[in-house]
Structure 1
Amino acid sequence: MSSDRNWSYEEDHSSKFLRKAKESPFVPVGMAGFFGIVAYGLYKLKSRGDTKMSVHLIHMRVGAQGFVVGAMTLGVVYSMYSQYLAPKNPGEK
């Protein structure tokens, strides 16, 4: 661990979430997309027509998982770009 971080045992959940979101910004995006797709699927549940319940739930699960995997992939690509390809300041190691 680096010594420049100010770790505190008194850190509440909201400030911890904000700190983690700044470190890896695609995690909250993935979580928001997951919950958004699940909410949309639950909203559309009553108007699914002749589709079986199990098929509707499987489609909802696949959509939510796809969004999360996409967000994770974008996060890894962003991380690799910022670590290896982004121009660095001359004074930075």
Structure 2
Amino acid sequence: MALERSLPQVDLSEESQSERFARKAKEAPYVPIGLAGCIGAVLYGAYQFRNKGEMSTSVYLMKFRVVAQSMVVVTLGLGVGYSMIDKYLLPKFHSAESKKE
């Protein structure tokens, strides 16, 4: 038995940019968090680049790339884990609770 979620019907012709962003944030709450994290990482990287000391630019950029890729992998793992829990485990708990009552 597959659980299907229906998406709300929205008239896109009358939607402003802020309304669209708010709707997208409600549909996928990790997107704004991911965007904020991306902007934060870029700002932190720019700050660290200015204060890198004697380290060569190529070595610094390689280190920054590895850190950025690691953060993407961790974020994807957390998102997939949350989706799996939400889709498979929580419905089982809710159905078990309703059977007890």
Structure 1 residue 43: Cα displacement: 0.9
1:8 and 2:40 aligned? no
Question: Quick one: which amino acid aligns to residue 20 of structure 1?
Answer: K
Identity %: 44
TM-score normalised per structure 1: 0.76
Question: Of 8, 19, 29, which aligns to 2:33?
Answer: 29
Aligned to 1:75: 79
Distance change (3 Å), C-alpha of 1:38 and 1:48: same
Stretches of structure 1 lacking an aligned partner (at least 5 in a row): none
Supply the distance in 1 between the matched residues of 2:21 and 2:85 (Cα, whole angstroms): 24
TM-score normalised per structure 2: 0.71
- Could you say which structure has the larger radius of gyration? 2
Aligned pair count reads 89
Over aligned residue pairs, what C-alpha RMSD do you find? 2.2
Structure 1 residue 34: Cα displacement: 1.9
Supply the distance in 1 between the matched residues of 2:69 and 2:17 (Cα, whole angstroms): 25
